[in-house]
Chains A and B, each alone.
Chain A
Amino acid sequence: MKAALIIVAVIALAALFGPLLLPYDPISIDWNSVRVGLFTDGHMLGTDDLGRDRLARLLVGTRVTLSVALAAAMVALVIGVAWGAIAGWVGGRTDELMMRIVDGLYALPFMFVVILLMVVFGRSILLVFLGIGFVEWLTMARVVRGQVIALKQRPFVLAAEAAGSPARATLIRHILPNVAGVAIAYLMLTVPHVVMIESFLSFLGLGVQEPMTSLGILVNEGAEEMDMNPAALLLPGGVLIALIACLTIAGERFRDRLADAAK
């Protein structure tokens, strides 16, 4: 788990600060150095067909992918926690209805709904993460609901209620802090999932748009010239796989630890 987190941290820091250290920006076109190879003219990873520095593009693309993923995961977190907490807390008919809706949405081929959303509302980056967030909250809602229902029976919550604490206060002061751990574990698992979806959309040309770039776009560009320049595919693909794998491993370990601690 530590190694996985360190890899994620290194990639994130490089994406955040790396572009500041480079003398090139990712969108300036330079017709004098088109498609130069690795380590030439100060371009460590060479340049693409428009003479743009590949390293700068890789770093900025990673940054865009990560920010979209974080933002979308936050959207999923807010909707999921609110939905799950209300359903679990209110219970009865309301719970039944709210969870039926979640079940129904689970059956949706939601990737296609995201694609439809992207096509319908244009391809702004804001909508990319809102759209992804809106389909990614389902698991969070289920997990949080289960947790809230379990917590409702716990003595400290019953005691708070017996002491006359209003429902709102009980929910905010006693229930939500205890849901936080599980919510964070699933947040950690949502991020790599969103990274995957965002890259998928960008790969199909439905996500982030030029001149902005993301790992998915870089993989797509790389796939087109892989016969001449395999590094163009291998590098963004490798960063993407490393990110998803390490985030998944860290998230799963964290979740398992919480589950063990609960026993």
Chain B
Amino acid sequence: MIAQRLLTAIPTLLAIIILSFILMRIAPGGPFDGERPLAPEVRASLEAAYGLDKSLPEQVWMYLSRLAQGDFGPSMVYRDFTVSGLIAEALPVSLLIGGCALVLAAMLGISAGLWAALRAGKWQDEVLMLGATLLTALPTFVTGPLLALIFGLWLGWLPVSGQNDGINWLILPVVALALPVTGAVAKLARAGLAGELGSDHIRAARARGIAPLTILRRHALRPALVPVASYLGPAAAALLTGAVVIETVFGLPGLGRYFVQGALNRDYPLVLGVVTLYAALIILFNLFADLIYGWLDPRMREG
């Protein structure tokens, strides 16, 4: 099953790369349209150097064959830098923020969701679920500046932007990024456990007089988390897109900023590199979610 998923992932990735490639190329404007127009000879030699004078299919082929060797090509705007170099610098920052946010959202969201399910129908449940819905409605580009305003400017507890040697610069970006995902995870965890607690095998376990905590731990918890696992792929996508804003708001040198800058500057190889990487990450996360499924619910291991 994993092998099959990997096989379908490759054409998906290829389609994404080719689609983005074509989209970028049919866009008006190019990487060498600066304030001053270049002399035609200079322009022609620049375009020849980057292979822009070839036909579109040839360019796609060239790009893909280089990509197969792990080479994302040179950046067209940040001269003297390769896209691989830029990514190598930016990816750790993005992964650190995204990873911390994912862990925080999973821990908070799952605990809140499970607790709400155990109190299903009571006021704690209502409050928590309303809170979760409100959290999912918080756009990172509002919470980011808002948190910076409150904790950075007014209270002065945390840095407003940039990195420093400590770890406290991470707190605000990670929290802003994690909030909407936390809400979504809480809702899914609650739905999962509430559904599971009403199922026959749990009622049977209860009838046999097994302690409620043991039932929860041994029988209900794993299948209850299946909906959360299925959200891993979309969550990764949400964190990556959220990171674009968060990195802009907090002035952090991550991938998201390169993506937006690259798109605006028509830095084709940079944008393609970042899109490829993002697509690969999301596909990887979906694959990972499938593995977790199998572990959580053995019925899903086959098929």
The chain A residues found within 8 Å of chain B, CB to CB, are 104, 107-113, 115-117, 119-122, 192, 196, 199-200, 203-204, 206, 216, 219-220, 222-223, 226-227, 230, 233-234, 237, 240-241, 244-245, 248-249, 252
Say yes or no: B137 contacts A200, CB within 8 Å. Answer: no
- Note all chain B residues with C-beta closer than 8 A to A110: 237
- Answer whether A112 and B259 are a contact pair too, CB < 8 Å, given A107-B279, A222-B145, A249-B133: yes
Say yes or no: A115 contacts B260, CB within 8 Å. Answer: yes
* A60 shortest CB reach to chain B, Å: 19
Q: Nearest A residue to B150 by beta-carbon distance?
A: A230
Q: Nearest B residue to A203 by beta-carbon distance?
A: B141
- Answer whether A237 and B142 are a contact pair too, CB < 8 Å, given A116-B23, A249-B133: yes
- Answer whether A230 and B137 are a contact pair too, CB < 8 Å, given A104-B15, A107-B283, A109-B279: no
Say yes or no: A244 contacts B12, CB within 8 Å. Answer: no
- Note all chain A residues with C-beta closer than 8 A to B260: 115, 204, 206
Contact of B245 among A120, A204, A227 (CB under 8 A): A204
* B76 shortest CB reach to chain A, Å: 15
Say yes or no: A120 contacts B24, CB within 8 Å. Answer: yes
Say yes or no: A109 contacts B136, CB within 8 Å. Answer: no
Say yes or no: A199 contacts B20, CB within 8 Å. Answer: no
Please give me the 9 A-B residue pairs with the lowest Cβ-Cβ distance, nearest first: A245-B137, A223-B145, A120-B27, A111-B241, A244-B137, A237-B142, A109-B278, A203-B141, A119-B263
How far apart are the CA atoms of A222 and B141 in the complex, in Å?
11
- Answer whether A233 and B12 are a contact pair too, CB < 8 Å, given A107-B286, A204-B244, A204-B248: no
How far apart are the CA atoms of A200 and B153 in the complex, in Å?
24
- Note all chain A residues with C-beta closer than 8 A to B138: 241
Say yes or no: A241 contacts B137, CB within 8 Å. Answer: yes
Q: Nearest A residue to B262 by beta-carbon distance?
A: A119
Cβ of B16 within 8 Å of any chain A Cβ, yes or no, is yes
Q: Which secondary structure dominates chain A's binding surface?
A: helix
Say yes or no: A200 contacts B259, CB within 8 Å. Answer: no
* A250 shortest CB reach to chain B, Å: 11
Q: Categorize the interface residue count of chain B.
A: 35 or more
Within 8 A of A (CB), among B109-155: 130, 133-134, 136-139, 141-142, 144-146, 148-149, 153
Cβ of B282 within 8 Å of any chain A Cβ, yes or no, is yes
Q: Nearest A residue to B26 by beta-carbon distance?
A: A120
Say yes or no: B149 contacts A226, CB within 8 Å. Answer: yes
Q: Can you name 6 A-B pairs with beta carbons within 8 Å?
A: A108-B279, A111-B237, A121-B27, A204-B244, A241-B137, A244-B137
How far apart are the CA atoms of A208 and B24 in the complex, in Å?
21
* A190 shortest CB reach to chain B, Å: 14
- Answer whether A226 and B145 are a contact pair too, CB < 8 Å, given A204-B245, A204-B260, A241-B137: yes
Which has the most chain B C-beta neighbours within 10 Å: A108, A112, A200, A203? A112
Cβ of B249 within 8 Å of any chain A Cβ, yes or no, is yes
Which has the most chain B C-beta neighbours within 10 Å: A107, A115, A199, A216? A107
